[in-house]
A and B are shown apart, each in its own frame.
Chain A
Amino acid sequence: DAMVIQNPRYQVTQFGKPVTLSCSQTLNHNVMYWYQQKSSQAPKLLFHYYDKDFNNEADTPDNFQSRRPNTSFCFLDIRSPGLGDAAMYLCATSRRSSSTDTQYFGPGTRLTVL
C-alpha cells in the first residue's frame, strides 16, 4: 500500500563520499519534490520535477543534483557530502503543480555524514 517509497531509510556516508538517495511512487503523479529537513526546522524545498522539467530552488547548493529517469523514480545525488548535509531528506509527490494539490510524502531518508 506504500505510495511514496524512499530507500534507504537510513544512510551513513563519509565526508566527501558521493551518495544517492532514491524515491519511487505508485501514484502516477506528475510532480516529484525533494526536501531537506534538519532537526527542529521546517522542510526546505531543494528542487522539483514537473514531469521531466527540472526546477531548482535558487539557494540549493550545486552539491545537490537530481535525476528523474521516468515517472515513477526520482534520485537525489549529493556529490560531496559535508557535515552540514546531515539531515532527513523527504521526497514528495503531487498530481500536478497546483496550489490546491496535496503533497504526499515518503517516509524519508535520514542521512548521517561521518
Chain B
Amino acid sequence: RKEVEQDPGPFNVPEGATVAFNCTYSNSASQSFFWYRQDCRKEPKLLMSVYSSGNEDGRFTAQLNRASQYISLLIRDSKLSDSATYLCVVNGRDNNDMRFGAGTRLTVKP
C-alpha cells in the first residue's frame, strides 16, 4: 500500500462547478498535512496547510479526518486557472518525512 494515495483523475469540470478530491495516508502518526498545486511541467507550490480539523481559504476548503486517515480538498466556483495537478502531502515528525501523493489532475473547462 502506498503511503499517500490519491485518485489520479482526471477530473474534468465546467467553470463554476464544485469539485472535491480525497487523499488517504497510511501512517497514523502523521502530524501535518498539506495540499500543493503543480502546473504542467512546473514545480509544486503550496496551496494550503491542514493542521487540525480543517482549513478554509477563499474558494478552497481542506478537511482532515484523523480517525479515517484521509484529507480532502474542496474547490468551489471553479475557475479556468484552477486547472492543475493537486498533490496531497503528509509529514511525519520532521519535514524530511514529507511524503507526496501522485496527484489528482483537474481540468476546468469553459
Contacts and interface: CB of A to CB of B under 8 A. Distances in A.
B69 interface: no
A107 B42 contact: yes
Contacts, number: 60
Contact of A99 (B45, B87, B92): B92
A60 B44 CA distance: 21
Size bin of chain B's contact surface: 20 to 34
A109 to B, nearest CB: 11
B46 interface: yes
A81 interface: no
Contacts of B53: none
B44 to A, nearest CB: 5
Contacts of B97: 99
A35 to B, nearest CB: 8
B17 to A, nearest CB: 24
B95 A42 contact: no
B74 to A, nearest CB: 21
B106 to A, nearest CB: 14
Interface of A: 31, 33, 40-45, 48, 50, 55, 88, 90, 94, 96-103, 105-108, 110
Given A42-B102, A55-B96, 12 more contacts: A40-B102, A41-B102, A43-B87, A99-B91, A99-B95, A100-B32, A101-B95, A102-B49, A103-B95, A105-B43, A106-B43, A110-B41
8 contacts: A31-B95, A33-B96, A42-B99, A43-B44, A55-B96, A99-B94, A99-B97, A106-B43
